[in-house]
Structure 1
């Protein structure tokens, strides 16, 4: 059965125009309710809206038994309220634009339409879950337990972040670790008695240089000092400094190496103190966890007459890192094909939408029959 692309586009517009910044609970509630309505009309089944610490996550769960396939997306975006006035929805020459077009309101619709297409073929969806979270852009702090609970023991987790520009799916993502290093010194008057102070700015500068050397480009590991705050006034020896640290790695061994190195930092000034907060947020999605599903998806794409399905590895994390981290085979990048996530150029290419729906329809169909 062919996808109703006109209806898909209309609902895509509704979702984009329903702005849903991650940090705005009221907007997320409106978005969750809209998504619930659209999905209920497509699937004939209402979801459960699971609200955790004020954040609404939308869950369709078919059957009561073990999970076979879990589809994962998110309805929050990085865009602040009012962006839609500056970047309105548009559908021009086969390109859909607007905040969330690529990341990832279209991907959520791909998942819904694929499941509806399976139902139209008479397939039973017992053992299938579709979870659309509301805080992915903030690190999935309230949704991670839900994601892991649904995916635990499943045959596959399919993630609907956008695909590569040529339709490639994502078979690897770096693991993510986020830290903050706090340096505690001692204040004194910078002009009258600077020798009585312990300069937190000087100390944090030493530590930043150490941190910047912890990466390993050959191993694909980055360790980047980011936001830095230090001092209070220009005539005071700074007593406190803080620096953020973003680390990405392709494997757990490298994540643990960096974590140990950061925790072994020692102050240059003997009376300064260091306090490290944070840690590993997401384990890597490694190719070995995706290759089985990728090979299956390649075969399906060929059978459907699609362009050859390619794969890419990316540095950014997604909820697929969590499902891979608990041992569930995971394939990412099954959403819309376009580009410009988090940028004014964000867009989705319409010609890829039916292909993606067909691919996911048949991939889920095979997985629930295995």
Structure 2
């Protein structure tokens, strides 16, 4: 049975109340990335909910919440057809107890709640889109694999290998992260994210009696901050930010130690490599001081490619059939889509619900926008 855009939109709109009820259920679970007990509780819920839709694999994660991989078969599709991978995460930046203080609520076409926009409503959208496809016996264009991970908000340290291994099996990747604010554009590019620690070791001395015998780590810190800021290339969109500095022990002691934590971002792999090499080549200015830098780009840049542009063009065409005018955008923030794009796999990001306030107390979604994106997801899964 073929599916018309009007069918997909009608199916999504009929699930408005169901979407809100499910989203509220998911938001009720506090899931800070570093809380295994709380994350695993939601993993239990998700595993049970997705079980009627496909085969659920649960990957034990001693360092945090377990990861889930759901495989949904496409009847009638040959084994040679590679699956589409859908990426979602169920952890949030909010600490335990936040939901009790700020439960989800609805005002008109807006729904508010911690973690709703980023990205628990996406979990609900994916589940209900698959239920709609199953209930109407609409044929999937290819098998579907969903990854629901628990550590995206802290850089995906335990899920990256799983994401990359699964992505290599697939044809293309759909990432249900929020779209570009405020226009709701889909994302075909993201900056890579580098995290660096710089440690400076000097020599302590009495600051009033014999300062000449010391070597100030904090003075050297100042030189290195200037050097690191000079690595930025604003024309290329490359940024460096010294976000945390620490050093010294007492006012009257020449400081023997200092350190800083640096955030670096770049649009291209070439710029990411340049920054990594530059950090490894930092050299002290102050005599008697040592400088050591560690770190790398934990998320490679998601560079815009012809394949990702083609994926966007197909999504834009299907969106137009639904009455949506989908734009193409980019963002300085990273997602798990950075990993898959870096492997050369066509990746389209920003397919979550329109809204605003990710990681902020006014975090919210457009309910009508979420339903439209659910209809778009139905079209993507049945046509691509």
TM-score normalised according to structure 2 size: 0.91
Residues 67, 151 of structure 1: 8 Å contact kept? no
> Aligned ranges for residues 275-294 of structure 1 at < 5 Å?
275-288=292-305, 289-294=307-312
- In structure 2, the CA distance between the partners of 1:65 and 1:130, relative to structure 1 (3 Å rule), is farther
Are 2:339 and 1:330 aligned? no
Tell me which residue corresponds to 2:105. 90
Deviation per CA, 1:9-39: give whole Å up to 9, x if none: 1010011111101111111011111222332
> Aligned ranges for residues 234-245 of structure 1 at < 5 Å?
234-245=251-262
Residues 228, 242 of structure 1: 8 Å contact kept? yes
Tell me which residue corresponds to 2:32. 21
Deviation per CA, 1:114-152: give whole Å up to 9, x if none: 222222343258632100100000100000001001101
> Aligned ranges for residues 88-237 of structure 1 at < 5 Å?
88-122=103-137, 123=139, 127-164=143-180, 165-237=182-254
> Aligned ranges for residues 236-255 of structure 1 at < 5 Å?
236-255=253-272
Cα distance in 2 for residues equivalent to 1:309 and 1:102: 19
Tell me which residue corresponds to 1:38. 49
Are 2:61 and 1:52 aligned? yes
Cα distance in 1 for residues equivalent to 2:246 and 2:146: 41
Cα distance in 2 for residues equivalent to 1:6 and 1:105: 16
How far did 1:324 drift? 0.4
Cα distance in 2 for residues equivalent to 1:315 and 1:124: 33
Residues 67, 129 of structure 1: 8 Å contact kept? no
Residues 211, 254 of structure 2: 8 Å contact kept? yes
Are 2:327 and 1:296 aligned? no
How far did 1:46 drift? 5.3
- Extract structure 1 runs of 4+ deviating beyond 4 A: 63-67
Cα distance in 2 for residues equivalent to 1:249 and 1:358: 34
Cα distance in 1 for residues equivalent to 2:246 and 2:218: 9
How far did 1:186 drift? 1.2
Residues 215, 287 of structure 2: 8 Å contact kept? no
Aligned length: 364
Residues 282, 293 of structure 2: 8 Å contact kept? no
Where 2:235 maps in the other structure, the secondary structure is helix
Where 1:47 maps in the other structure, the secondary structure is strand
- Aligned-pair RMSD on alpha carbons? 1.7
How far did 1:103 drift? 0.4
Query: Structure 1: which 5+ residue stretches go unaligned?
Result: none
Aligned mate of 1:77, from 92, 102, 124: 92
